[in-house]
Chains A and B, each alone.
Chain A
């Protein structure tokens, strides 16, 4: 995909498709030189037997195409740059995907525009809540769409162009504040 932020958006779309009402998205720059992200949802989850084969592109519940590419793409990208992907899931409870990427590996894609991914995720699925956190080398930052919903009451509409623009600009500002200085992410 070229940008880990696009994989994050795509995995979050799996959660939306699984009828999640809350998606937790964590991005962290850890001390061992890895970029780690975790996407955890409270959607329908997967059976153990299905979960065991989900890295295989020929395993999908979609009906419009015979292959599912989302998870295999993340699995491949993580392995290619010295990291790994783990998935846990429980039917009726939810799913958690964690992936790590060695940042100094030349095959490691840049993180890219996470702020844009989150704003677009909320705009496209405005009833779903997102709890986003970024742990950077200069500090942590947490964004909870439920706080915005509470603040705006019934006027809250994440697909409204002006709210979407605010979300994106706000997230970008906060990520820039805490991410490792001087690194293009």
Chain B
């Protein structure tokens, strides 16, 4: 049974993560335009949040972006590690999420066969 009283217990955890989340800088960005949502962006974002919670990767930030004009490759998910190139993955399904997080977010190894775009870090 969930109740607002749970927030009391959550507060300390959220507070201690606050600083960590500001400093870490690793970001996962999901395209939430209409065609993104129609292609499953909500499920992909939910899968990302679940996987980060499961692995206690609470220092990774999840963000959304609107349409970037690659509608046929939705769902689009970008991984941006500090100091590294911004990698865009395309046609992402919820079941791809754990692979992307384990390989790229955690270990820095790009999942090459799913990459649809790359922006070099200047």
Contact = CB atoms under 8 A, between A and B. Distances in A.
B42 A116 contact: yes
Nearest to B13: A162
B105 interface: no
Given A65-B67, A69-B35, A162-B10, A155 B46 contact: no
Given A65-B71, A124-B32, A148 B2 contact: no
B34 interface: yes
Contact of A170 (B2, B52, B61): B2
Given A157-B18, A161-B49, A166 B66 contact: no
Contacts of B35: 69
Which 10 A/B pairs are nearest by Cβ-Cβ distance? A124-B64, A161-B53, A64-B69, A155-B14, A155-B15, A170-B2, A161-B52, A161-B49, A64-B67, A164-B49
Interface residues of B, number: 41
A4 interface: no
A181 to B, nearest CB: 19
A25 interface: no
Chain A interface size, as a band, is 35 or more
Given A10-B37, A120-B42, A152 B7 contact: yes
Interface of B: 1-4, 6-8, 10-11, 13-15, 17-18, 21, 30, 32-35, 37-38, 42-43, 45-46, 49-50, 52-53, 57-58, 61-64, 66-69, 71
Interface of B is mostly: helix
A163 B6 CA distance: 10
A128 B27 CA distance: 20
Nearest to A174: B2
Nearest to A161: B53
A157 B67 contact: no
A124 B2 contact: no
Given A157-B14, A166-B2, 12 more contacts: A69-B34, A117-B42, A123-B62, A123-B64, A124-B30, A151-B4, A152-B10, A156-B14, A162-B58, A163-B10, A165-B50, A173-B2
A69 B7 CA distance: 38
B2 A169 contact: yes
Q: Of residues B11, B18, B32, which shows the largest number of chain A Cβ atoms within 10 Å of its Cβ?
A: B32
Interface in A5-28: 6, 9-10, 13, 17
A156 to B, nearest CB: 7
A162 B59 CA distance: 12
